[in-house]
Amino acid sequence: MWAVARDMKRLEALAAQQDRITPFRCDVSSDADRAALVEAAGPVDVLVNNAGLGYSGMVETMPAFEVRRLFEINVLGVIDLTQRVLPGMLARKRGHIVNVSSVAGYVATPPLTVYAATKFAVNGFTDGLRRELAGRGVSVALINPGPVNTEWGPRSMGYLPVEGAPEVKGVGVPAWTVSHAIARSITLAAVPGWDTIAVPRVAGLVRLITIPILTRLVDGSAFASRTITRSNP
């Protein structure tokens, strides 16, 4: 099993706890890093696209480079890695692709509008890919977490640690609940209902907000004067 991230020190610490893990440093926003990862890993039977970046702020004040960075990591990285491993899976007529999206892929609300747009894209890509691969031996799953107790929340608000810095937790469900959902989507790939999982399951109810009468109750005006201060360079 290959574990991939930008912080090699944390990867090595993880590998020290589990001897089946091969750590590999990769920045998913880099085309060269993605290519090097797939070349080093060799034939891939299971691809978990879990890398994701958040951003909290209003659209009118969001720098263009932040928009591009979100789409490069959250969307283009997912598509590119999938394209790189899919031919081998199809040739072997087996494989699993798991895309980790978000409940924000169901409903876009301020101040996560652009982030939500990337997750809508992941959801749409996953749905289409699943239909393309139906009956060809490769399963496709979609995981939609709500808030998770990791660094994602603090980082989306501008927290940018140096490599090797202590982990800073956010709020939400434990990270293991997401990893368990990923594992179930693979082991139960042939069972109906396990190809799309909200974490926790109740988070899937957020889709009810898309019902027109409920949509009118969700008013973004409360965010109109909100100012988000970020520490990005």
Taking a C-beta distance cutoff of 8 angstroms, is the pair 52, 178 a contact? Answer: no
**How many C-beta atoms lie closer than 10 Å to residue 47's C-beta?**
23
**How many C-beta atoms lie closer than 10 Å to residue 217's C-beta?**
8
Cα–Cα nearest to 143, from 215, 71, 47, 55 = 47
b vs e for 48-71, b when ≥16 Cβ sit within 10 Å of the residue's Cβ?
bbbbbbbbbbbeeebeeebeeebb
Which residue(s) pair with 24 in the sheet? Answer: 4
Cα–Cα nearest to 139, from 89, 70, 66 = 89
Longest Cα–Cα distance in the chain? 54
Which residue(s) pair with 99 in the sheet? Answer: 49, 142
Active-site amino acid positions: 115
22-25 and 46-49 beta bridge pairing:
unpaired
> Using CA atoms, how far apart are residues 152 and 72, in angstroms rounded to an integer?
17
Q: Which two tokens stand for residue 223?
A: 């965010």
